[in-house]
Amino acid sequence: MIRKFFLKIIPVVVLAAALAFVFRSYLFASYVVEGESMEPTLYDGNMLMVNKVVYDLSDVDRFDVIVFHANKQTDYVKRVIGLPGDKIVYKNDKLFINGDYVEEKFLKPYKKVSAAEPYTEDFTLKGTTGKTTVPKGKLFVMGDNRDNSLDSRKFGFVSQDTLVGKVDITYWPVSQLHLSFAD
């Protein structure tokens, strides 16, 4: 009887382990946020689940929270602001893309806190990157903590080839569980 039980349970355990390996290796990745550049959306120590296949199936959307390879040793988590072909200007604490005002709803609660000063300093794409539009195959990214973020304003465009994936879930600490970063 015990032998029958083990003969039934072993294939289930092996299948579960194989599925976990496939999910972890090819479909999703777990990351730990280091630093304050995405506060107040993400905090230092938050654990994230990154969807590694979403951009094989669909395009990157404006305001997606992404993880990308900054170099061989370091990955960054930032928010997509500019897509290929976009002209970006930030003036009077407002984002303009291709001449149109684009509301950043995710920043609204935090702008009120620093109402005396602009949450995001004025800039133009040309002033930060030397180019007037986001090139094909590239993204312009920023951290949500605009005063304390190393982002495209400093290091330039991010190649879409360096994307790890889209942040879908913050799962640790449980008190900060978040299932989507859409507007």
Q: How many CA atoms lie within 13 A of 25 on its CB side?
A: 6
Residue ranges, the chain, pLDDT below 50: none
In the prediction, which pLDDT does 140 show? 96
For the chain, how many structural domains are there in total? 1
Within-domain flag for 181: no
Q: Is 37 one of the catalytic residues?
A: yes
Distance CA 137, CA 65 (A): 17
Containing structural domain, residue 128: 2-176
Within-domain flag for 183: no
- CATH number, domain of 104, equals 2.10.109.10
**What predicted TM-score, i.e. pTM, was given to this entire model?**
0.81
In the prediction, which pLDDT does 89 show? 93
Within-domain flag for 125: yes
Is the CB of residue 137 less than 8 Å from the CB of residue 161? Answer: yes
Within-domain flag for 84: yes
In the prediction, which pLDDT does 96 show? 95
Within-domain flag for 54: yes
Phi first, then psi: give them for residue 105, nearest 5 degrees. Answer: -60, -35
In the prediction, which pLDDT does 177 show? 56
Within-domain flag for 33: yes
Within-domain flag for 119: yes
Is the CB of residue 67 less than 8 Å from the CB of residue 168? Answer: no
Q: Is 78 one of the catalytic residues?
A: yes
| CA distance readout (Å), 105 to 87, 94, 141 | 20, 11, 16
List the catalytic residue out of 4, 25, 37, 159: 37
CB burial readout 5-15, b (16+ within 10 A) else e: eeeeeeeeeee
Within-domain flag for 182: no
In the prediction, which pLDDT does 40 show? 83
List the catalytic residue out of 25, 58, 72, 78: 78
